[in-house]
A and B are shown apart, each in its own frame.
Chain A
Amino acid sequence: MNKLRLVGNELLRRQRNFFSLDQIVKTTGLKRNDVRDILLGFWAEKLLVRIHKNRDYSWSKGPPLLNVRYRVIMPAKLAARIAPQYRGENNAADRIWFVIRRKVTFTRRDLRILTGASSSNVRWYTKRLSKAGIISTRGRSGEWFLLNDVGPRRPYVGEILSGKRSVRIGPKRVVA
Chain B
Amino acid sequence: MHLMKEKFVTTKNVRKFQMAVHRVNHKLRGVERMALVTGEIGLGKTEAATWYSAHNGAVMLNIWPRMSQHWLLRALVWELGMEPGWRPEKLIEQIKGRLLARPRTIIFDEIDHLFRDSGSGRVDTLETIRKVHDVCHCPVVLIGEEWVDKKMSKFPRIDDRIVERVRFEKFDLSDVKQIIGELSDSKFEGDAVEKITQESGGRFRPIMSLIHAAEERARVNQLRSIGVKDLG
Contact surface of A with B, Cβ cutoff 8 Å: 89-90, 95, 98-99, 102-103, 109, 112-116, 151-153, 170-174, 176
Contact = CB atoms under 8 A, between A and B. Distances in A.
Given A102-B50, A102-B53, A176-B97, 15 more contacts: A99-B50, A99-B54, A102-B60, A109-B6, A112-B6, A114-B51, A114-B54, A151-B78, A152-B81, A170-B83, A172-B81, A174-B82, A174-B83, A176-B94, A176-B96
A176 B55 contact: no
The secondary structure that dominates the B interface is helix
A176 B93 contact: yes
- Smallest CB-CB A-B distances: 4 pairs: A176-B97, A176-B94, A95-B54, A171-B81
B80 interface: yes
B6 A113 contact: yes
Contacts of B93: 176
A174 B27 CA distance: 29
A114 B81 contact: no
B79 interface: yes
B8 interface: yes
Among B6, B50, B79, residue most surrounded by chain A Cβ atoms (within 10 Å): B6
Interface residues of B, number: 25
A115 B95 CA distance: 27
A151 B50 contact: no
Nearest to A172: B81
Nearest to B53: A98
Interface of B: 6-8, 47, 50-51, 53-57, 59-60, 78-83, 93-98
Interface of A is mostly: loop
Contact of B82 (A89, A90, A116, A176): A176
Contacts of A171: 78, 81-83
Contacts of B56: 90
Nearest to A149: B78
A114 B8 contact: yes
A152 B78 contact: yes
A146 to B, nearest CB: 14
A103 to B, nearest CB: 8
Contacts of B54: 95, 98-99, 114-115
20 contacts: A95-B55, A98-B54, A113-B6, A113-B7, A113-B8, A114-B47, A114-B50, A114-B51, A114-B54, A152-B59, A152-B79, A152-B80, A170-B78, A171-B81, A171-B82, A173-B82, A174-B81, A174-B83, A174-B98, A176-B95
**Which of B54, B59, B80, B97 has most chain A Cβ within 10 Å?**
B54
A44 B143 CA distance: 55
Contacts of A174: 81-83, 98
Nearest to B4: A109
A89 B94 CA distance: 22
Contacts of A99: 50, 54
